[in-house]
Amino acid sequence: MPVGTRVEYIALQDIRRVEPGEDLAALIGQSLAGMSLELQRGDILVIAQKIVSKSEGRYVRLSDAEPSPAALELAATVGKDPRFLEVVLRESTEVVKTRPNVVIAAHRLGFVMANAGIDQSNIEHCEGEERVLLLPEDPDGSAQRLKVALDAAGDLNLGIIINDSFGRPWRNGVVGVAIGAAGIPSLLSQIGVPDMFGRAMRVTEIAIADEIAGAASLLMGQAGEGMPIILVRGLTFDGAVSPAAALARPKSQDMFR
């Protein structure tokens, strides 16, 4: 269970635009120094997916995406650029649902999301050439590498969450969720734990990483706020560490696909 009675969320300041090859650990260190902050043991850093993808150079030029027959057919249905849809299909295992201007797809990592997580907002387009940004190749791996780099500064045992914005079935609006994580129990089972009246819970699992990511999104914002890194302080856990991949429900257990 999460342990703590007070939690702080602190948006790191003066984060410059991230370019391919950027050392995110160094970037975080520079921001912390400028704010006269130091990382403490057990701190959690929530990092926007977009800057992780940018640092990993996950750009695709639309001019390089030759639309396949499937992309052309999908474009005729939803009214989107067939080059964009070609990239979506390349990153997807299944198109789950469509309507005009909307494509819900199952990303190859198991996340079901709009456009397979491929985005054109808040990215630079070089010399007028349109680009799109993909999710990190391995978000859990990206989180683990960043944790190792930052933990090297001392006995920190940090948690790292890579955060992205998802829509949800049956609810309007988007929320932050974890697509990558390291050093925390992303999914915590309470099956068998007694409730306040002693009755054992039967199905309850807590999406710890998603709850932390959702709160961090309040500071990150969804437009041009420029606050892609949030320091979370005051939470500790007594559950086993698990990756964000544990949060993706397998299709075999999905009652709505």
Q: Among 86, 99, 179, which Cα is nearest to 140's? A: 179
Pairing of the two strands 102-107 and 229-233: unpaired
Pairing of the two strands 159-168 and 44-48: parallel
Whether residue 127 has pLDDT greater than 80:
no
What is the reported pLDDT for 224?
Answer: 63
Average the pLDDT over each of 128-132, 145-149, 208-212 and give the range with the smallest value. Answer: 128-132
State the pTM of this model: 0.92
Q: Among 218, 37, 55, which Cα is nearest to 146's? A: 55
- Per-chain mean pLDDT for the chain: 91
Q: Give the residue-averaged pLDDT of 235-241.
A: 86
Q: Among 97, 99, 102, 96, which Cα is nearest to 84's? A: 102
Please, what is the end-to-end C-alpha distance for the chain in angstroms?
Answer: 31
C-beta of residue 229 within 8 angstroms of C-beta of residue 200: no
